Amino acid sequence: MNAMTTFIEGLPKAELHLHIEGTLEPGLMFEIGRRNAIDLPFASVEGLRAAYRFRNLQDFLDIYYRGLQVLLTERDFYDLTWAYLEKVSKQNVLHTEIFFDPQAHTGRGVPFATVIGGIHRALLDGREKLGISAKIIMCFLRHLDQDDAMETLDQALPYKDRIVAVGLDSTETGHPPDKFKDVFDRARREGFLAVAHAGEEGPAAYVWQAVDVLHVARVDHGNRCLDDEALVGHLARTRMPLTVCPLSNLKLGVVKDLKSHPLREMMEKDLLVTVNSDDPAYFGGYVNENYRAVQQALGLTKGQLYGLARNSFRASFLGPLEKEAFIARLDRYVARNRA
């Protein structure tokens, strides 16, 4: 194996932008679908994979919301989460912060408790059996209205100790962050941190709103911030983390190829960027494949890869001592593998 690939594989890292429903591999989708007697509009795993060609975010979301309908029971959510943890523990992901979309399930009659119960139980097993640390972030679907998000927040309150933050995802264009000001205000008063997808397809103005109106602690994607120099300055000065997802950007047409991916420019502008997989079952790679793809396309050095992995711990919602311990482990790895 190529030396850079080996270096990336062993690199201790955190993943901060990962939709658990986006880790549903075709094989598991068919297996769970069979178990629950739910027909998929595809004859085979190959047929399903062939449909994974997206012109934009909405094309992808249409398939993503179709696929997740096989998930019904606590065991389904457990199996889904466990499969992800097993994969990324082999990729040296030491800590992961996982999004889930409760409304995509409660809207189909699956109780909130079933969803959070299965995910949480898998995370407990992940810590015990794989030594992987994890947190859960609950996203509101922005194509739905704020009242629906409020109801979802009500349902989440009994599980406050299991959910570190609220987020905002789904169709970005036409659904600016300020549509959700009140529910984010309330969530923060209840003690949740906040994150939001912004500047994936939407304009730099949406990134400003995520920061100024929703008071996010991280911006998910954020690519379009580069259109606004004042915004870039602000994000750099405030050390606002951006959770960047290179293969997702490629597959959804946010960038035309990886050589023109803005990650390098973001690093040069001193932004606190991290590399993540978003929806790995749909975009052709987990977190290490994302590191590898940008390393190759942008010619990143080991020093720069180290910087990205370090940022992943810094930008996490871990406490300061936990961050320090993970970064010390990363530093030891890099000292041993620098040459």
**Beta-carbon count within 10 A of 262 CB:** 23
Largest CA distance in the chain: 55
Nearest to 166 by CA among 145, 143, 187: 187
User: How many residues sit close enough to Zn ion to count as binding (CB under 5 A)?
Assistant: 1
Our CB check for ligand ADE shows the closer of 7 and 100 to be 100
232 and 226 Cβ atoms separated by less than 8 Å: yes
Our CB check for ligand ADE shows the closer of 118 and 199 to be 199
CA distance 201 to 145: 20
* The two structure tokens encoding residue 98: 């996982």
Site for Zn ion in 274-293 (CB under 5 A): 278
Q: Which of 200, 229, 265, 289 is catalytic?
A: 200
56 and 281 Cβ atoms separated by less than 8 Å: no
- Whether residue 200 lies in the annotated active site: yes
Q: Find the helix or strand (DSSP H, E) in which 222 lies.
A: none
Site for ligand ADE in 248-267 (CB under 6 A): 248
The verdict on 197 binding ligand ADE (CB under 6 A) reads yes
167 touches which of Zn ion, ligand ADE, none (CB within 5 to 8 A by kind)? none
The verdict on 57 binding ligand ADE (CB under 6 A) reads yes
200 touches which of ligand ADE, Zn ion, none (CB within 5 to 8 A by kind)? ligand ADE
Rg (CA), the chain: 19
Using DSSP's 3-state secondary structure scheme, residue 66 falls into helix
Beta bridge partners of 145: none
The verdict on 201 binding Zn ion (CB under 5 A) reads no
290 touches which of ligand ADE, Zn ion, none (CB within 5 to 8 A by kind)? none
Our CB check for ligand ADE shows the closer of 197 and 224 to be 197
Our CB check for ligand ADE shows the closer of 19 and 120 to be 19
- Residues catalogued as catalytic: 200
